[in-house]
Structure formats: C-alpha cells, structure tokens
Chain A
Amino acid sequence: MTDVIERAAVSGAERDLMLEAEVRDLIYLEADILDRQRWKEWTDLYTEDCIFWVPSWADEENMIDDPETEINTIYLKGKAGLEARLFRITSRDSYASLPLARTSHVIGSVRITGQDASSVQASAKWTVLSMDARRGKMVRGGWYDFDFARTEDGLKIRQKKIALLESMIDGTIDIYQI
C-alpha cells in the first residue's frame, strides 16, 4: 500500500516536471519561430478559437479590464486574426514591415499557475531585443499569461495575454516584436 502511494506520488511529481518541460518548450518554441521568422509554423501552435491579447494601459498603473468594449493594444480572435497579421508581415507591401526588424526573445520565470483535465495556465517574463531599420536597437519587455488547451497533439495556445510595459510606444510594434 505504502509502495503504491509512493509510486503514485513520484509519478505525480514526474508528471509535473514533464508538464513544466512541455510548457517551457512550447513557449520557447514559439519565440524561436518568431525570431527565425518561420511564419508558416506559428499559427500551428494555436487553437482555432485562440486569442492573442495585448491590453492597453487605462492609466499609468492599470491596464484595461474588458477587451471586448475597451481599447486594446492588440486583440486578435481566432486564427484568422493571426493570419491577417502574417499576410501583412510577409506581403513585402507593408511600409513598416520592409525591412522586417530582427528580434531575439529572451524568456524566463516560467511558472505553471493552474491546470485541470483540459487546460494548463502558465506565466512568464519576456524581453525582446529588436533591431529596427529606422530606430536601431529597441528593448521591450513585459509578462506573458498563457492558457493552453490539452489536445491529442499536445498543448496548444488558446490564449496569449501580453503585458507590454511601455506606455509611450517608440516605433511600430507587431506580433513578433513582443
């Protein structure tokens, strides 16, 4: 009996470690895909009903609360929203996206903040170094809050909420620069 309990506890801890590794790997994979501009692979990481959300600052200390009726910095719903961004980025017809900035995401402090049978939540901190043709070196930072769906193909991003710390935005910002 004791054996069974201990084995269950160990495998539970192992499961947690495996989940943590899977979450970290997915977050890092997305960042790497964006940095290497492997655009076609990006939307595969998301569910069909995904949300990509960057709230705006309602004032110096608070972000807006209701993404539906208040102004967001970016609010994309469903893969079609992501694909529209990629269309523009890859078109070579977007003035601001020619040339594209070079970016490097550095992500840390990844923590699992919740889970159940169908989903996993995690938070992380990010810094993106962007080399912009018009502005040179730009450093931006903030937090991520992820909601992942457990699917047959492993974890998929159902929601990515990005807190962007900047309040006076210097330059243009697209989905791969945050």
Chain B
Amino acid sequence: MAKDGTDARPLVRDEGGVFDLNRSAFTQQEIFDLEMERIFERGWLYLCHESQVENEGDYYSTQMGRQPVYVHRGKEGKINAFINACAHRGAVLTPQRRGNARTLTCRFHGWCFNTEGRCTKIKTEKVGWPDGVDKSKFSLQPIAKVQSYKGFIYGSLTDDCPSLEEHLGESKVFIDLLAEQSPEGMEVVRGGQTYLIRGNWKLQAENGVDGYHVSTVHRVFAGAMAKRESMAPAEGMAKTESGRIAGKVETGSYDIGMGHMLIWAKRSDLGAAPLSASLDQLRERFDEKTIDWMAGRGRNLFVYPNVHLMDQPSTQIRVLIPIAPDRTEARVYCIAPKGEPREARIARVRKFEDFYMVTGMATPDDMAALEDVQRGSMATNMPYSHVDRGRSVMVEGPDETAKELGLNPVSSNPNWENETLYYGFYRRWNEDLGGA
C-alpha cells in the first residue's frame, strides 16, 4: 500500500449508519491480486450456458481469475471442466473459444485428451518411454466443482465452498424467472460481442444494477428511440419502452445476500415486453403473480462475482472477466426462449443490439461513465465514495413486494435509484478479501 496512507485503508467504512467505499478498490494492483486469489480462484463463478456446449464434444473456453479453463460436454450429457493447459508443456488446448472435439489434440506435441480429461494418446510414446508409461498421471487438472443450475453452468477452482444451491441462494428466484420462460428451455442466440472495458470489474458489476444512472445516462437513448419511432412507427414488441427510462414506473432494489444484487422496474407497456407474444403459453404454466414478475417487470440480476442476467428491453448474459485493476473483458450474449415466435425473436435481438452492445446506443454511454469513475478513482486525495442514497427508506429483510414474490432478501428498497443493494456486494467482497 502507498506509504502516505491516503489511498487504501480501510477499504470499507461500515458502521454508525455510514457506508463509505475507498475507491482504491478500483485501482490498486495488490487488491486486484487478492481478488484473484480469494474471489475468482476460490468459490463459484459463472462459466457458460448449457446451450453453448449442447452436444458431446462441445467445448467453451473462458477464464477463472488468472486461470484459463474450458468446459467440455462429455458422454451422456455430462458437463466437465478443466484447467486449459496441456498436461505435457502447458499449451492451451482449445483452438477457439467454442468448438467441438471429442478428443482435444494438443497442437504443440500432439498429445490427446478426451472429454473426461484423460490423456488417451502420446505421440511416439514408445520412443520416449520404451517400457510404456502410465498415461493416467498425465490427466488434465479438473475444475474442483462444476454444476449447472437450470442451464447456467458454474464452477469453482476449490472445493471448500458451499453447495451451488447455497451460493446462489435467493438469486435462484430471479434465475428461475429467466430460465423458465419457455417450456423448451432457453438458448444463447448465435453471435454476440466481446469488449474491453478500461475500468475495474466492480464498476461494471455496479453499473449493471444501477437504476440511478438510467434517467441521465440513457435519456439520450430514449430520445433517439423517439426520433426513430416518429419516422418509422414500431408495433408490438418492436416498440421501445421509454417510460422506464424517464422514471415513470414502480421500481425497487434488493440486496439478496451472498453478494448478489437485483433491481426491477415495472414495464410501462406490457405489449413491448420481450415475452408479450408468449403470454398464452405462460398462463398455461404459471400463476398471475409469476407472470407479472416474468413478463411484466424488467429485472437486472448480478450473481456474485461475475455475471449479470438481465431481462429489460431484451435478455442478456453479461460475463465479466477481470484482467487488471483497470481492465475488464465483457462477453455479452443474448439468451432467448427456445421456440419463441419469429417476430418476437427478431424484436428481441434488435433491442439487444440497440441497448446492450458497445456498438449500440446505450452501453457505450454506460462504459464511458464507468471509465470516468475509473479515472476519477485515481484522485487519492479524495478517496471515498459515500454510499448513502436511500438508506432511510431501506427495509431490513423483505418488503411487501418481496413477500408477495416469496423472496427473502437481506434488505429491500422501494426505489431502484437507491444504493443500499451495494452493501451486500461490498460486504461480501470485503469479507472475501479478509476484511481488508
């Protein structure tokens, strides 16, 4: 830490009705290294969606902290995951982010590994080991825990963590609201985007559940959509819902425990909702209350520590891969109900492009804002963010809305512009780092 003592400790001041966050949390290499060791390389991380590794031999490569890893679909649908490094000399085994190979052959020296991670072939084995060799000692390093919850695959590099069910906790209520939208299941739509944020991963984690910025940062999005629709009127789901951006709807936010966070907003126009064409199908399967939450309210969920599941104008999986204190890779995918009407799918993907991509008309403004926070966080002469907004109206435990949903959050807030949902995130984070 810096010798002048102005930039680092405590990271969180959390007592006496005060919640202050030291912005060194976004800039310090030492803190980033601790995060890698104690958060991203220990405990559950989201890896990918099952539809991205649908068939035997399908693989998907990603990162867990600093460790390259890949998920590999094995026999009988089994989901395996390994450290992505050849047991021989360490070359990454997957030639692409996604592909299919029942045997992954290392392209360096030709060693082969099956979907169970077992070394099945060593090139010119007899030359190197004339008496043969026990290839089982060259198995790949499996990820300690791999498990899917309703199609979302998670992994942990260590096994000293709670069960996935315990980790997901109350976030399951909201994962279910997305995962169960089609009786046929959900799928990741072909195409997507990967982009580099020149900012800390926690700033993106916050931004994805920050209702407060919507009516400033995205005011221009609403204006651009109004302009477009004045020239070319849109019908049904293709119509933009600008009522939420203007803050004219009922909203709320929850600290749902385990570091997970959620914001929601009532839709101003159910006809524009991504599920508006599927309401009949939903009525056959769910009660009105569930449909109200599934189709009638937009929701942004952050599942600690690395994924957003969003269902607002469109539906999104946004995976965060921290690279450095001021660098984060974001992978964004559109997730959609299998078998939805073609018109609904078209409207869903158009809205995804409009809002959720860094080449669209909303996400660039989010990114610019959070990158400005990153730059401002270098101001160690003024290191603290005061996370106070909405504390006086915060409800400990479930409020009436949460009770109706059967949700048991740590705290509730009746407005998505309030910031008390971050308490759970930063408390969990601070605890994971060892109360630094």
Assembly CA distance A167 to B372 (angstroms): 24
Residue of B nearest to A81 (CB): B228
Contact pick for B224, options A74, A88, A134, CB 8 Å: A88
Question: Which residues from chain B contact A54 at a C-beta distance below 8 Å?
Answer: 359
**A107 sits at the interface (CB 8 A):** no
CB-nearest residue of chain A to B366? A95
A141: Cβ under 8 A from any B Cβ: no
Q: Are B349 and A70 in contact (CB under 8 A)?
A: yes
Collect the chain B residues with CB atoms within 8 Å of residue A97's CB: 364
- Contact assessment for B227 and A84 in the assembled complex, using a CB-CB cutoff below 8 Å: yes
Task: Among A61, A80, A172, find the residue whose CB has the most chain B CB atoms closer than 10 A.
Answer: A172
- Could you tell me if B196 and A64 are in contact, using CB atoms closer than 8 angstroms? no
Residues of A within 8 A of B97 (CB): 59-60
Nearest CB on B from A32, distance (A): 22
Q: Which of A73, A87, A91, A94 has the most CB of B within 10 A?
A: A94
Closest to A91 in B: B220
Q: Chain A residues near B229: list those with CB within 8 A.
A: 80
**A124 — which chain B residues lie within 8 A by C-beta?**
none
| Interface pair A69/B225, CB less than 8 Å apart | no
- Within the complex, which residue of B96, B219, B349, B365 is in contact with A69, where a contact is CB–CB below 8 Å? B349
Q: Specify which of B193, B195, B227 is in contact with A71 (CB 8 Å cutoff).
A: B193
Residues 336-373 of B, flagged 1 when their CB comes within 8 A of A and 0 if not, give 00000010011001101100011111011111110110
Say yes or no: A57 contacts B353, CB within 8 Å.
no
Closest CB in chain B relative to A70 CB, distance in Å: 5
Cβ 8 A contact of A83, one of B231, B333, B352, B367: B231
Residues of B within 8 A of A134 (CB): 198, 368, 371
B329–A56 touching, CB < 8 Å: no
Q: Is the CB of A58 within 8 A of B191?
A: yes
| Chain A contacts for B359, CB-based, 8 A | 54, 73-74, 169, 172-174
Determine whether B203 belongs to the interface, using a CB cutoff of 8 Å to chain A: no
**Is B44 among interface residues, defined by CB-CB distance under 8 A?**
no
- Residues of chain A contacted by B358 (CB below 8 angstroms): 169, 171-173
From known contacts A75-B353, A81-B228, A169-B359, infer whether A88 and B196 are also in contact, taking CB-CB under 8 Å: no
Q: Once the chains bind, are B361 and A84 in contact (CB under 8 Å)?
A: yes
Band of interface residues on B? 35 or more
- Closest chain B CB from A96 CB (angstroms): 4
- Contacts of A59 on B, CB cut-off 8 Å? 96-99
Q: Are A75 and B368 in contact (CB under 8 A)?
A: no
Closest to A178 in B: B359
Residues of A within 8 A of B372 (CB): 95
Q: Is A153 interfacial (CB-CB < 8 Å)?
A: no
List B contacts of A79 (CB < 8 A): 231
CB distance from A83 to the nearest CB of B (A): 6
- A85 contacts partner chain B, Cβ-Cβ < 8 Å: yes
Residue of B nearest to A172 (CB): B364
With an 8 A cutoff between CB atoms, is A68 at the interface? yes
Q: Is the CB of A71 within 8 A of B96?
A: no
B371 adjacent to A70 (CB under 8 Å): no
Please tell me if the beta carbons of B191 and A70 are within 8 angstroms of each other in the complex.
yes
Q: Is A172 within 8 A of B231, CB to CB?
A: no
Residues of B within 8 A of A83 (CB): 227-228, 231
> Residue-by-residue, is B28-67 near A (CB-CB < 8 Å gives 1, otherwise 0)?
0000000000000000000000000000000000000000
Note all chain A residues with C-beta closer than 8 A to B196: 168-171
B181 nearest CB across to chain A (Å): 17
Q: What residue of chain A has the Cβ atom nearest to residue B227's Cβ?
A: A87
Whether, in the assembled complex, A93 has its beta carbon less than 8 Å from a beta carbon of chain B, the answer is yes
- A72 to B345: give the CA distance in the assembly, Å: 13
Chain B residues positioned under 8 Å from A80 (CB to CB): 227-229, 231-232
Interface residue B258 (Cβ < 8 Å from any Cβ of A): no
Q: A73-B359, A94-B365, A172-B358 are in contact. List 8 more A-B contacts (CB 8 A).
A: A71-B353, A74-B353, A87-B224, A91-B224, A95-B369, A167-B194, A169-B359, A172-B359
What would be 7 A-B contacts, judged by CB atoms less than 8 Å apart? A59-B99, A71-B193, A71-B353, A72-B349, A81-B232, A95-B365, A95-B369
Binding site for A on B (CB under 8 A): 96-99, 189-196, 198, 217, 219-221, 223-225, 227-229, 231-232, 329, 333-334, 342, 345-346, 349-350, 352-353, 357-361, 363-369, 371-372
Query: 9 closest A-B pairs (Cβ-Cβ)?
Result: A71-B191, A172-B364, A80-B231, A80-B232, A96-B364, A84-B228, A96-B368, A56-B191, A95-B365
